[in-house]
Structure 1
Amino acid sequence: MVKILLVDDDVDLTSMLSQYLVREGFDVTTVRDGETGVMEAISRDYALVVLDIMMPRLSGIEALRRIRATSPVPILMLTARGDDIDRIVGLDLGADDYVPKPCTPGELVARIRAILRRTEGRGSSGMAAAQRMVQVGELTLWPGNRQATWRGASLELTGTEFSLLEVLARHSGQLVSKQDISQQAFDRPLARFDRRIDVHISSIRQKLGTRPDGQSWIQSVRGLGYQLLED
């Protein structure tokens, strides 16, 4: 069974969500504060962590920071609806996705399964296609095990960053709309005012550095999308 860690101090919500997740075939562990959540997340083998932002003892943002310091486990953040600052900070620190609260159990399960598909290297084109190496110049991606190298050195990416970069690499030299990026990387249409693609692209740009001419390897066209340059 796929093991999920649910970290939230809302007793009623966690009870409802955990019961639904169990019915959907997941093995669920729940904890009710951020400090315990960090200890649990880094000491056991979970497929995914669901992490609330507002919690006692340790905020979800700080818990995310501590987990990311030692573990690449996929993390789905639960955020207050409209809480843009915490949401963007969370994505910037390495969260794989977020769900605004209150959320339905069905929506949460859909997001969890979408993240697991991405991190397991499976997609609509099938396992064989997902396993094939993708190379663009000095960038090499191995979708099967979510590994990447840049200029001969390991490139550390979060799960979401890998998914975004993979989409751009498969369309290198072409402008890809944010709507297409969202659909291919996250398995859903881009929501209005959703800035997570921009936040993650900014992080990827920093990790790739600049071209000899001082420009970014990932070019943007305002209002249209992004393009990974080939050389």
Structure 2
Amino acid sequence: MNGLKVLVADDDPNVREIIRLYFTQQQIQMIEAKDGEEAVEKALSGTPDLVILDVMMPKMDGYEACREILKHTDLPIIMLTAKGEEFDRVLGLELGADDYVTKPFSPRELVARIKAIFRRIQRGAAAQEEGKTGDLVFEGLTISLDRREVIIGGEKVPFRPKEFDLLAHMAKTPGQVFTREQLLEQVWGYDYFGDIRTVDVHVKKVRKKLSAYPGEVIHTVWGIGYKFEVVHD
């Protein structure tokens, strides 16, 4: 974790100070922001490795800040929220956040979540190198593992990194049924962190990206999980 730079956006100076003190012990460099607008500015103009966003902030809330940051970067994001409702947790994941931590939290837990995210990133990079085997070609749909591109009817469709990873992983074994737990482990590489709803949220995003395809690709297997299978209308 040496040399890691983390942007922490929270309007409560006490929260920022507690995190800063623990980060110092862990040799993590902290960049501070006191509102959502400042968080977006520092995320885009600075060089953080990860962003932590409090949901309830002045000028721009954490959700809007998350949306703006991910328009221009692929930075990992952790949401901080004092709310415990499922809607609030799922909304952050739907916007593209990697994880969330509910207040009150321990700084040790926050650092553990950060470490888990970077372990996933490292494993994912290694898997990408090992898994480069050309194109997965289906009628009207090409998934290029080398270029990390999805092409429908000759048109490239933009996919975020984790959306592509999920689609490619399932497409390598058409017809195989994956449980949500298997997908969390195999695509995200979660240890025990993470919400199983992450899978559902990303499947929803992938299906939306594939809406131009004249048929179904990702199928729900009720009571179990999901499978990739090209079925034309």
TM-score past 0.5 threshold: yes
In structure 2, the residue matched to 1:175 is 177
Residues 79 and 99, structure 2, Cα contact 8 Å, conserved in 1? yes
Post-superposition CA distance 1:41-94 (Å, at most 9, x none): 111122111111111121101111211222221211112342322322222222
Q: Does 1:133 align with 2:132?
A: yes
Q: Does 1:60 align with 2:62?
A: yes
What are the ranges of 5 or more consecutive residues in structure 1 without an aligned counterpart? none
Separation of aligned partners in 1, 2:105 and 2:53: 13
Separation of aligned partners in 2, 1:190 and 1:27: 23
In structure 2, the residue matched to 1:12 is 14
Q: How many residues align?
A: 221
In structure 2, the residue matched to 1:220 is 220
Over the matched positions of the two proteins, sequence identity in percent amounts to 37
Residues 96 and 160, structure 1, Cα contact 8 Å, conserved in 2? no
Residues 120 and 190, structure 2, Cα contact 8 Å, conserved in 1? no
2:64 is paired with a residue whose SS is helix
Q: TM-score, normalised by structure 1?
A: 0.82
Residues 140 and 149, structure 1, Cα contact 8 Å, conserved in 2? yes
What are the ranges of 5 or more consecutive residues in structure 2 without an aligned counterpart? none
Task: Give 1:38 shift.
Answer: 0.7
Separation of aligned partners in 1, 2:72 and 2:19: 27
Counterpart of 1:62 in structure 2: which amino acid? E
Query: Structure 1 residues 22 and 157 mapped into 2: Cα distance closer, same or farther (>3 Å)?
Result: farther
2:82 to 69, 72, 80: 80
Separation of aligned partners in 1, 2:72 and 2:194: 31
With 13-22 and 157-166 compared, the bigger mean Cα shift is at 157-166
Q: TM-score, normalised by structure 2?
A: 0.81
Counterpart of 1:133 in structure 2: which amino acid? K
In structure 2, the residue matched to 1:24 is 26
In structure 2, the residue matched to 1:49 is 51
CA RMSD, aligned part only?
A: 2.7
Separation of aligned partners in 1, 2:104 and 2:69: 24
Query: Structure 1 residues 172 and 61 mapped into 2: Cα distance closer, same or farther (>3 Å)?
Result: same
Task: Give 1:201 shift.
Answer: 0.9
Query: Structure 1 residues 139 and 3 mapped into 2: Cα distance closer, same or farther (>3 Å)?
Result: same
1:29 is paired with a residue whose SS is strand
Separation of aligned partners in 2, 1:163 and 1:17: 32
Separation of aligned partners in 2, 1:160 and 1:97: 13
Separation of aligned partners in 1, 2:57 and 2:180: 33
- Find the structure with the greater CA-based Rg: 2
Residues 183 and 190, structure 1, Cα contact 8 Å, conserved in 2? no
1:94 to 93, 96, 120: 96
